Structure 1
Amino acid sequence: MINNAILFLLETTLGLLTIAFLLRFYFQLTKASFQNQFAQLIVTVTNFAVKPFRRVIPGLGKVDVSTLLLAYLTQLVLHFLAFLLKGFPIFVAGNTVWFVMLGLALIGIISLSLSIFLYAVLIQAVLSWINPHTPAAPILNSLTNPVLRVFRKYIPPAGNFDLSPLVFIIAAQLVLTTILVPLENNLLSIL
């Protein structure tokens, strides 16, 4: 019972931290303005780890490798601790468990990245109907525009409606449910 509570707290805390690292990475990658209050919150929350880590691992051009690696390491720690809490004999299970954990962490990063863009597109679509001039609109636009631009090349607007967000949401859900979840289950079945 107590292990389930600890596992829930770990998954929540480390999951949110991973999302914060990924948001910081994607904000920098998409050149979103950091003058927004939400972006400043993400920077403040992640500075404790990003600043020292950047001294060790510098970025590659405009790609902030250190922040992305921190997100991956956070997922790796989460899976390691989850295995320990579930009573899995990590240290005597052999090398396979380590490769499974590395794969699960990578799948976690990809899933969370897709979820970030999925919810950003969904929120942006809803806000465009309700209040298109909200303070969150510029950062959402900066974050989602590179992804939606790809879909807009192939999907013409229907009347005055841009259908690319809907197609992206369906495609992201399809990738999550048909590729990433089965891949995660296959990795777990190896153990």
Structure 2
Amino acid sequence: MLHSIFTMIVNAVASILAGVLLLRFWMQVVRVRPPQSVGQFVYQLSDWLVLPLRRLMPGGRHDWASLVGAFLIVLLSIIAILGWQTNFDFKLIFLVSLERFFEWICYGFMATLILEAVFSWVNPHAPLAPFVRALNDPLLRPLRRIIPPLGGVDLSPLVLLILLQIAVRVVGALLFGVF
């Protein structure tokens, strides 16, 4: 029972930290400026890791320190959860970390898609709505070229949700099926 509580706490803390680092990376990739409250939250929660990593790997067009930091958080959480159980099989820990990292990336995209859908139904003029729309636009734009709106309803977010779920399953199968 204590192990499950420990696992829950580690997963909660790691998913928040890694999620913030992934959001920081994605905001720079799509070149969207966050609202002040979101920006302060993201930067204050992640600067402790990103700034030292930037000394080791200076960024160019992308904030690689944020992406590497997110992976390090995932890796450390897996080591904390599985490390003492598996006689520290680094290959297994690394594969589980890769899978978890990819899952969290996809789950982050799924969360922003769901947020955008909620904003479009409840309050399309909410202060965060343009920010969330800008985060999703690079992923939805190619699908919107292929899938036209049906009766004024944009089905591309639903298609992207399904594709992201398929990607999570395929990557998991490939990582653990091959190795």
Matching residue of 2:20: 20
Question: CA offsets per residue over residues 22-56 of structure 1, 9 Å max, x none?
Answer: 11111111112133422321111101111121112
- TM-score, normalised relative to structure 2: 0.91
**Cα deviation, residue 75, structure 1:** 0.8
Deviates most, 2-11 or 150-159: 2-11
Q: What fraction of aligned residue pairs are identical, expressed as a percent?
A: 28
**Conserved? CA contact 1:24–1:42, under 8 Å:** yes
**Conserved? CA contact 2:57–2:65, under 8 Å:** yes
Closer, same or farther: CA 145–162 of 1 in aligned 2, 3 Å:
same
2:150 aligned counterpart, secondary structure: coil
> Structure 1 counterpart of 2:69, which letter?
L
**Conserved? CA contact 1:53–1:66, under 8 Å:** yes
2:153 aligned counterpart, secondary structure: coil
Question: CA offsets per residue over residues 136-174 of structure 1, 9 Å max, x none?
Answer: 112101110000001111111113221111111121122
1:42 aligned counterpart, secondary structure: helix
| Residue correspondence of structure 1 range 1-191 to structure 2 within 5 A | 1-59=1-59, 61-85=60-84, 87-90=85-88, 97-176=89-168, 178-183=169-174, 186=177
1:161 aligned counterpart, secondary structure: coil
2:62 aligned counterpart, secondary structure: coil
Deviates most, 118-127 or 35-44: 35-44
**Conserved? CA contact 1:36–1:136, under 8 Å:** no
**Counterparts of 1:127 and 1:184 in 2: how far apart (Å)?**
36
Q: Which runs of 4+ in 1 moved over 2 A?
A: 1-4, 180-187
Question: CA offsets per residue over residues 108-133 of structure 1, 9 Å max, x none?
Answer: 12111111111111110121121001
> Structure 2 counterpart of 1:11, which letter?
N
**Counterparts of 2:174 and 2:54 in 1: how far apart (Å)?**
32
> Structure 2 counterpart of 1:130, which letter?
V
Segments of 5+ residues of structure 2 without an aligned counterpart are none
Matching residue of 1:93: none
**Counterparts of 1:2 and 1:119 in 2: how far apart (Å)?**
30
**Counterparts of 1:37 and 1:138 in 2: how far apart (Å)?**
14
